[in-house]
Amino acid sequence: MGEYLERYDRRATELAFPTPIRVTWGLAADALGEAAPADRVLLELCTFLASAPVSWQLLWAARTLPLEPEVARTVRVERRLRAAMRRIARFGLAGLDPSGERLTVHPLVRGMFGQELSSERHAELLRIVRGMLSAADPGDPDNPAGWYRYTELAPHLIHSDLLGGDAEEVRQLVINCIRFHFARGDYDSSRELAGSAVARWRDGLGESAEQTLLASFHLANALRAVGRPADARNLNLQTLRTQREVFGADDEATLATANSVGGDLRMQGHFGQARQLDADNLVRYRRLFGESFPTALRCANNLAIDLRLLGDFRGARALDEQTLRHRQAIFVDGHPETLSSRAALAYDLYGLGDYTGVATVLAGHAEQVAEDHPFALWAGRLTAMAAYRLGRPEARHLAATNLEACRQRFGDLNVDTLSTALSLANCVRAAGDLGAAHELLERAVIRFHAVLGDEHPFTLAASAGLAAVVRGAGRHHEARTIDEEVLGGLRRSVGADHPFTLSCANGLAADLFAAGEGQPARELAADTLRRSRVVRGADHPDTVACAWNLALADQDEAGQQQALAALAKAYGDGHPVFRVTAAGQRLETDVDLPPL
């Protein structure tokens, strides 16, 4: 006891600001170094990491690095490494979880060691820690099987200053963590880390360095995902221009950025330009890498999005079915990109009027990722949409639950959140709650204007939905004003044959009939029916609704009976739509928005 007190007093005099805890831990560290020098080195390495738990697997990754012989011997074999972790814990210098898997070093211990290291020793240990972290990189941030490892690695990046690492593999770990955050739907963390990387690497490596450009690509994706499309667009265009100049148009990273530019075009509402760009990218991807290459499949997925947004659900379905088959062949069960393909295919079926097929495609698969993952939320919204179209009473609850989940995940000024609000409003309006539907849609339209702009097809489509609610309340003149403006905008942006345009035209025909303008109303209704038969098919529920409306206006009983038979074939007996037809009322053709 006396010897310990002497050592305690001596240690206290060596410290500028001695405290009982610092002195005690300092003596424990000295004792550990005397008993097992390699263990103290391991503890020193841990002080360069964050306060998050450090697993033996992470320390084990150091076995590939040039280390002092005794340290190398300790980390080379798992049982020796675990024994060292137990000794560190017994000296009270770190906490060890009950399973003996993870050490947690207290911030005061980390600070104490940091103050005692010389600048040379600090640099040497930092180099080892950076190498250890990069050696632990699973190397595939899109694969959920490795996400547990990235979950462990990500907290340590800033504390060990991997952004300042001079080794390419160290910076690659940063890029992989950026992508990991994005792949699991944590767009804010992806944006924050990518923004830090771009800022550091532009200064340290230069704007045209390969990894600076890679980080810029990921930053643009995250910016678009968090609702900053203009910033994403400007950054992507700058990155793509530089990549084409430095690496060429067929470089894999260049193609990935071009693919991202397609996403920017969709956010601007330029669906045709996005299709043209993505189609060119897909040809290049398949020529260079083959059609089953993961990024080629992402490009094919994006081209299908373009087709779907343009109203070509048949073309999108063919491409999505092919992409799904390839992804099922190369990815493990439950991979998010496979769920993405299933959700895409389900949206195609929805657009084709196969509402029962939606549930079949999605059955059980959304449960394979986190319930707040963007792809799971897409699947949830589509499930609610299909339930509404099938007349199921749970549709409103499903849509409301999905909207709340989107708000919590993305916030109110997010395209997916606003699209979900539109789907819920359709359910609410059909249930007769026009006040709640009007409130939902009025707020959504204002926010669509703010996020996407006045002329974006989604803004216009949401406005057409608002007109349907206003029309339902008997304010036909106001609905007509909205519909006339929206129809002109949709014809300019997506064309007269687009499903959005046809739905709006069906509503405007109702407005004209209500105003007593029978002849122009009939002409518009007949033109809408003719176009819908070509675009959507004669048996599509919305085409049949248009046929019912025209037959009702013409007092064509034979046409009405044909329409009723077609509706029964599409929906089955007992569907709520027959309450509307039995009352001799017109049918709305609701607009739902697929993901951008």
What does the pLDDT look like over 166-192, one tens digit per residue? 899 999 999 999 999 999 989 999 999
Averaged pLDDT, 437-461: 96
Specify the 3-state DSSP secondary structure of 589.
Answer: coil
Whether 368 shows a pLDDT value over 90: the answer reads: no
Residue 39 lies in a domain: yes
Predicted confidence (pLDDT) per residue in 26-61, tens digit: 666 667 777 888 888 888 898 889 888 999 999 999
Checking if the pLDDT of 6 tops 60, the result is: no
Give pLDDT, residue 23.
54
Residue type, 9: D
- Alpha-carbon distance 403 to 419, whole Å? 9
Q: Is 75 exposed, middle or buried (0-12, 13-18, 19+ CB in 10 A)?
A: buried
In this prediction, residue 8 has a pLDDT band, given cuts at 50, 70 and 90, of very low
Got the DSSP string for 156-172?
Answer: HHHHTTGGG--SHHHHH
pLDDT at 152: 94
Mean pLDDT calculated for residue range 90-103: 87
Q: How many CA atoms lie less than 13 Å away from 369 in the CB half-sphere?
A: 29
pLDDT for res 7: 55
* pLDDT digits 0-9 by tens, 183-242: 998 999 999 999 999 999 999 999 999 999 999 999 999 999 998 999 999 999 999 999
Q: Inform me whether the pLDDT recorded for 258 exceeds 50.
A: yes
Cβ of 292: how many Cβ atoms within 10 Å? 14
pLDDT at 403 over 70: yes
Looking up residue 464, the CATH number of its domain turns out to be: 1.25.40.10
- Confidence band, pLDDT 50/70/90 cuts, at residue 116: confident
Query: At which of 135, 154, 184 does a domain end?
Result: 135
- The answer as to whether 545 is a domain residue is yes
pLDDT per residue as tens digits for the range 546-581:
999 999 999 999 999 999 999 999 998 889 999 999
> Tokens 């299933």 identify what position?
342
Residue 419 lies in a domain: no
Q: Are 17 and 1 in contact (CB under 8 A)?
A: no
Asked if the model's pLDDT at residue 132 lies above 50, the reply is yes
- Give domain status of residue 473, yes or no: yes
Give mean pLDDT, residues 249-274. 95
Work out the average pLDDT over 280-291. Answer: 94
Instruction: Give residue 530's identity as a one-letter amino acid code.
Output: R
Burial grade of 241 (CB within 10 A; 0-12, 13-18, 19 or more): exposed
The one-character DSSP state at 518 is H
Last residue of a domain, one of 135, 163, 178: 135
Output the domain CATH number for residue 107.
1.10.10
Mean pLDDT of the chain: 91
- Looking at the 3D structure of the chain, how many domains does it have? 2
Residue among 45, 33, 50 at smallest CA distance from 106 = 50
Give the pair of three-digit tokens for residue 282.
């897909």
Structural domain including 486 reads 458-582
Helix, strand, coil tally for the chain in percent (to 5): 75, 0, 25
pLDDT of 11 reads: 52
pLDDT of residue 29: 66
Q: Please, what is the end-to-end C-alpha distance for the chain in angstroms?
A: 72
Domain final position from 108, 135, 162: 135
In this structure, is residue 437 part of a structural domain? no
The string of pLDDT tens digits covering residues 480-538 is 999 999 999 999 999 999 999 999 999 999 999 999 999 999 999 999 999 999 999 99
For residues 184 and 373, give the distance between their C-alpha atoms in angstroms, rounded to a whole number. 6
**The 3-state secondary structure of 206-240, one letter per residue:** CCCCHHHHHHHHHHHHHHHHCCCHHHHHHHHHHHH
Higher pLDDT, 92 or 588: 588
**Which has the closest alpha carbon to 339: 319, 352, 357, 324?**
324
Please give the Cα distance from 115 to 239 (Å, whole number): 42
- Are the C-beta atoms of 326 and 291 separated by less than 8 Å? yes
- pTM for the structure as a whole: 0.89
Q: Is residue 450 part of a domain?
A: no
Classify residue 92: in a domain, yes or no. yes
Instruction: Tell me if 42 sits within 8 A of 61, measured CB to CB.
Output: no
Instruction: Calculate helix-pair angle for 37-46, 20-35, nearest 10 degrees.
Output: 130
Tell me if 494 is assigned to some domain: yes
